[in-house]
Structure 1
Amino acid sequence: MGSKTLFKWSKQITSSQVGKLIKAEKDLQKALIIFDSATAEYTNGFRHDHSTFGLMIRRLVSANQFRSAEALLDRMKEEKCSVTEDIFLSVCRGYARVHRPLDSVRVFEKMEEYQCKPTDKSYITIFGILVEENQLKVAFRFYKYMRKAGIPASVVSLNILIKALCKNSSSMAAALQIFREMPDHGCTPDSYTYGTLINGLCKLGKIGEAKELFRDMGTKGCLPSVVTYTCLIRGLCQSNNLEEAVELFEEMKCKGINPNVLTYSSLMDGFCKGGRSSQAMELLDSMVSKRHLPNMITYSTLLHGLCEEGKLREALEILDRMKLQGLKPDAGHYGKIITCSCNVSKFHEAANFLDEMVLGGISPNRITWSLHVRIHNAVVQGMCNSGNLTQAFQLYLSMRTRGFSIDEGTFDTLVKCICKKGDLHKAYRIVDEMVLDGCIPDYGIWNAVVEGFWDRTKVREPAELLQAELMGEIGDEQYG
């Protein structure tokens, strides 16, 4: 790496000066040049300490340059610069952020090699990372290792353990048992403990037990937080106890606990699933008036509910609000709008949204392929039935070009509509492509083609013979 500086150093370089320059420099590579040049260009004896090393390591970790960050850890060891616990944990948390929890464990295990003895904070951090990333088997082994290492039980560590146990229905009873035994370890359950258990019970559909635990909070003098209320409101909505959810929502506001975006979205989801999307829209307006910005979950919930009720105009309003907020609709959002448009016979609008998807760069992938196939087939059939045959045929050609499979119903509708228009060559082409795709034309399709030829005087007799021959073949298949 080059050592040429982008500025003039003072005669006496200090860690504070180097730190300020690294923080001020937005470009990471230039920040590295500053870091290196502090020791490379001047022979004033300046050496990096844990503060400048730590700052540079955190910059590298934030840019996911983990190899370089760990190289600086090695350099600290070589230069006999003490590596603090917080520096190690910044690397561990960085790996957790990109869902590499086992690398977090690996870095943790290196701490003592660098003469850095991990404290309770490090053990609990790694334990929390493993649980958060669903590495539960490793997490439980690590918890046993913690206890053998003499790390005492605390509210924080027991809360993490309870969270891990709440992730599976088979271990929910164990989570409740640990909760009941917490006072024996000198630990008093807090709102996080209750919230974790209530959330776990709600996910299992055990709403009665969740409500009982919620009431228990009040008797123990533990005030429920917005997270606790939200967990129970979501659980009540998912179990179709919508009125209770609304009552709880009003209760939390009366107690001065402000709902957050997730609270509003959970209740909106309940309204939408209960066929009450109008109330969900009112709740959206209330949410915005409280200066809570809707997120993708909020908009997806509303779109689904409105489209299920056939409220296309309101659904389009939500789609526009998403775009104005800078959120990009995905294939699922467009799929709901297109399906709703087809359900209310707005096939031209549905076709326009298909074009908008393409222009917006929303291409099918492994997950959304079947959705793209389904909505394209629906639009082709809808446009045929509504008399827009030219556009339907163009979309059909586009589907073949893009490799989308054509439903038998789409082939059937296209052939019959085209035959009625008298374009028999085009109909024959589609039947031919149908056979190439492995679909066998049924009696209705062959009959439509034959009837198309029927009125043509010169082919009347051959058509009659073809029809008789086809009828004979169908009869042989059925009775032979």
Structure 2
Amino acid sequence: MNVRWPRLLTPTHLSQIIRNQKNPSTALQIFREAKHKYPNYRHNGPVYATMIEILGNAGRISEMKEVIERMKEDSCECKDSVFVNAIKTYAKAGLPNEAVSLFNSIPQFNCVNKTQSFNTLLQIMVNESKLEAAHRLFLESSYGWEVKSRIPSLNLLMEALCRKHRSDLALEIFLEMNYQGCCPNRDSHRILMKGLCEDGRLNEATHLLYSMFWRISQKGSGEDIVIYRILLEALCDDGQVEKAVEILGKILRKGLKAPKRCFRQFDLSRFSAGEDIERTKNLINEALIRGGIPSLAGYSAMAVDLYNEGKVSDANKVLAEMQERGFRPTHLIYEAKIAAVCSRANVDEALKVIEKEMVVANCVPNVRVYNIVLKGLCNERKSTLAVGYLKNMAKQVGCTADKETYSILISGLCGESRYGEASQVLEEMLIKSFWPGADTYNVIIKGLCSVGRQYEAVMWLEEIISQDMRPESSVWHSLVASVCSNMADIDMFFASFN
């Protein structure tokens, strides 16, 4: 272990040193040795956070646990995010009880806020359909002073219940919010509105909408149109077009606070026939977007909502109108559009969005936009073309490929059996100090063996061992089979001369 120790060590410097180590064991050794080399040095919260993150990403549970215990003994001030990473590591390793135990022990640390870790653990329980455990966790932990806001956790529980078509219970939680001293936010209304409408509870959904007029829409926010739209479309689908039109009028007057001049310009009489439900719903969307005061928030909310539902042509109309009105589209809109287009297996259209639309709109693609396109290209087995976009990303100001970018490309290339190219991308990934997991190395080594590139396979085997990871047994089998196959070919070559 060759480390160039500075004359004076600071926690920031140590964090940089251990983060640059590709071998987690080496990083841990440096972390431990620092205190012996510098008697006056003390680890702080960020150093512990870095070390815990490195060990967690490498799946070194026991060593991560040891560092967490040491952090507790040092009693240094630490942020909630440290426990978030550890909880996610435990969950990924299939150790939910360890995650719960760590969360319950947070009061023993010098941490004054556990809101983030609370919501993370709750989300994990909800995702695993452990609703009873999630409910118990909420009852036991949400009222402590360390949890600053209960609204996100209540929204999580409501969303989980709505997915199970228990919007009646979600409604009870919603009504209980006021008694718990927290006011439902826009997400609360959106989650409950969608759940009630999907369960056919349209009367309760209508009452919920009216409550918005004096709760979150007192100033007429454009973002509210997404929630209004859920109810209006549900009423149309239920054949209640006249009621939808009546409520639309109230929305324009009270919910969006539309000026009289804007309201007069929109004729609601054209909805009365209601013969074509889809056309009626399109007209309602048009009324919501045009009937109120034009705003970036309103246009963005409607466009993103339509793209997320796969209604690309309708969303494109909203996008075009918003640009005509002088509003510049945000990255959020383009991310939603590219994701919607890629989901239709039309990645060529997604490339046009990046190369033409975003250029005209003066919106520079970010790494999230590129990652969506790269995943679409790889899904359509165009991974070689996807690799070419790494150079494009490098040319963009402020757009740098991240770990997800390289993971997408390597997975796509391996899926097309392009193991040599995947090997090159992996090499670049390591140069940028993004360390993949053992699974990535295992796939590439076995793939290189299958195409007769044993030398490269052995090089990556040495790399995985240097990082103190353990290759799968199938990796060794692939290497042995590949070498033996080559020896058989050599024997056959010499036998042909006899």
Q: Distance in 2 between matches of 1:99 and 1:233?
A: 40
User: Structure 1 residue 318 and structure 2 residue 366: aligned?
Assistant: no
TM-superposition CA deviations, 1:217-238 (whole Å, max 9, x none): 1222556877754355467567
The correspondence of residues 329-344 of structure 1 with structure 2, limited to 5 A, is 329=377
Q: 1:293 aligns with which of 334, 348, 352?
A: 334
Given that 1:322 and 1:328 are in contact with CA atoms closer than 8 Å, whether structure 2 keeps it comes out as no
C-alpha deviation, 1:116, in angstroms: 6.5
User: Structure 1 residue 169 and structure 2 residue 165: aligned?
Assistant: yes
C-alpha deviation, 1:102, in angstroms: 5.2
Q: Distance in 1 between matches of 2:39 and 2:310?
A: 70
C-alpha deviation, 1:124, in angstroms: 5.1
Q: Distance in 2 between matches of 1:97 and 1:286?
A: 44
SS in 1 for 2:48: helix
Q: 2:35 aligns with which of 10, 34, 39?
A: 39
Q: Tell me which amino acid in the other structure corresponds to 1:162.
A: M
Q: Distance in 2 between matches of 1:159 and 1:69?
A: 31
Given that 1:253 and 1:259 are in contact with CA atoms closer than 8 Å, whether structure 2 keeps it comes out as no
Given that 2:186 and 2:224 are in contact with CA atoms closer than 8 Å, whether structure 1 keeps it comes out as yes
Q: Tell me which amino acid in the other structure corresponds to 1:9.
A: P
Given that 2:75 and 2:109 are in contact with CA atoms closer than 8 Å, whether structure 1 keeps it comes out as no
What count of residue pairs does the alignment treat as equivalent?
315
* 1:264 match: 303
C-alpha deviation, 1:362, in angstroms: 6.0
C-alpha deviation, 1:299, in angstroms: 0.6
C-alpha deviation, 1:37, in angstroms: 4.0
Kindly name which structure, 1 or 2, has the bigger radius of gyration based on alpha carbons.
1
Structure 1 residues 117, 328: closer, same or farther in 2, change over 3 A? closer
Q: Tell me which amino acid in the other structure corresponds to 1:195.
A: R
Q: 2:285 aligns with which of 233, 240, 245?
A: 245
Q: Tell me which amino acid in the other structure corresponds to 1:169.
A: H
Q: 2:47 aligns with which of 44, 47, 52?
A: 52
Unaligned segments of structure 1, at least 5 residues? 304-314, 335-357, 364-480
* 1:72 match: 67
C-alpha deviation, 1:194, in angstroms: 1.6
Unaligned segments of structure 2, at least 5 residues? 238-277, 356-372, 383-411, 418-498
TM-superposition CA deviations, 1:139-163 (whole Å, max 9, x none): 1232343479899995455444433
Structure 1 residues 246, 148: closer, same or farther in 2, change over 3 A? closer
Given that 1:198 and 1:210 are in contact with CA atoms closer than 8 Å, whether structure 2 keeps it comes out as yes
Given that 1:60 and 1:66 are in contact with CA atoms closer than 8 Å, whether structure 2 keeps it comes out as yes
User: Structure 1 residue 328 and structure 2 residue 324: aligned?
Assistant: no
Given that 1:169 and 1:204 are in contact with CA atoms closer than 8 Å, whether structure 2 keeps it comes out as yes
Structure 1 residues 290, 129: closer, same or farther in 2, change over 3 A? same
User: Structure 1 residue 8 and structure 2 residue 5: aligned?
Assistant: yes
* 2:140 match: 145
C-alpha deviation, 1:176, in angstroms: 1.5
Q: Distance in 2 between matches of 1:55 and 1:236?
A: 49
The correspondence of residues 18-29 of structure 1 with structure 2, limited to 5 A, is 18-19=14-15, 21-22=17-18, 25=20, 27=22, 29=24
Structure 1 residues 37, 92: closer, same or farther in 2, change over 3 A? same
* 2:177 match: 182
SS in 2 for 1:53: helix
Given that 1:198 and 1:231 are in contact with CA atoms closer than 8 Å, whether structure 2 keeps it comes out as yes
C-alpha deviation, 1:169, in angstroms: 1.8
Q: Distance in 2 between matches of 1:161 and 1:177?
A: 11
Q: Distance in 2 between matches of 1:234 and 1:99?
A: 37
Given that 1:131 and 1:160 are in contact with CA atoms closer than 8 Å, whether structure 2 keeps it comes out as yes
What is the aligned-residue RMSD (CA, Å)?
A: 4.7
Deviates more, 1:241-250 or 1:317-326: 317-326
C-alpha deviation, 1:208, in angstroms: 5.8
Quick one: percent identity of the two aligned structures? Answer: 22
Structure 1 residues 178, 149: closer, same or farther in 2, change over 3 A? same
Q: Given the two structures, how large is their TM-score scaled by the length of structure 1?
A: 0.50
C-alpha deviation, 1:207, in angstroms: 5.4
TM-superposition CA deviations, 1:376-432 (whole Å, max 9, x none): xxxxxxxxxxxxxxxxxxxxxxxxxxxxxxxxxxxxxxxxxxxxxxxxxxxxxxxxx
SS in 2 for 1:131: helix
Given that 2:185 and 2:216 are in contact with CA atoms closer than 8 Å, whether structure 1 keeps it comes out as no
Q: Given the two structures, how large is their TM-score scaled by the length of structure 2?
A: 0.49
Given that 1:179 and 1:189 are in contact with CA atoms closer than 8 Å, whether structure 2 keeps it comes out as yes
Given that 2:77 and 2:110 are in contact with CA atoms closer than 8 Å, whether structure 1 keeps it comes out as yes
TM-superposition CA deviations, 1:103-145 (whole Å, max 9, x none): 5324224446x56798663545533442355431221232343
Given that 1:39 and 1:47 are in contact with CA atoms closer than 8 Å, whether structure 2 keeps it comes out as yes
Q: Distance in 2 between matches of 1:93 and 1:226?
A: 36
Structure 1 residues 75, 299: closer, same or farther in 2, change over 3 A? same
Q: Distance in 1 between matches of 2:61 and 2:139?
A: 29
Structure 1 residues 118, 164: closer, same or farther in 2, change over 3 A? farther
Q: Distance in 2 between matches of 1:116 and 1:279?
A: 52
Structure 1 residues 89, 270: closer, same or farther in 2, change over 3 A? closer
Q: Distance in 2 between matches of 1:156 and 1:233?
A: 23
Q: Distance in 1 between matches of 2:95 and 2:71?
A: 24
Structure 1 residues 258, 59: closer, same or farther in 2, change over 3 A? farther
SS in 1 for 2:376: coil
SS in 1 for 2:297: coil
Q: Distance in 2 between matches of 1:279 and 1:36?
A: 59
Given that 1:101 and 1:133 are in contact with CA atoms closer than 8 Å, whether structure 2 keeps it comes out as no
Q: Tell me which amino acid in the other structure corresponds to 1:8.
A: W
Given that 1:194 and 1:228 are in contact with CA atoms closer than 8 Å, whether structure 2 keeps it comes out as no
SS in 1 for 2:184: coil
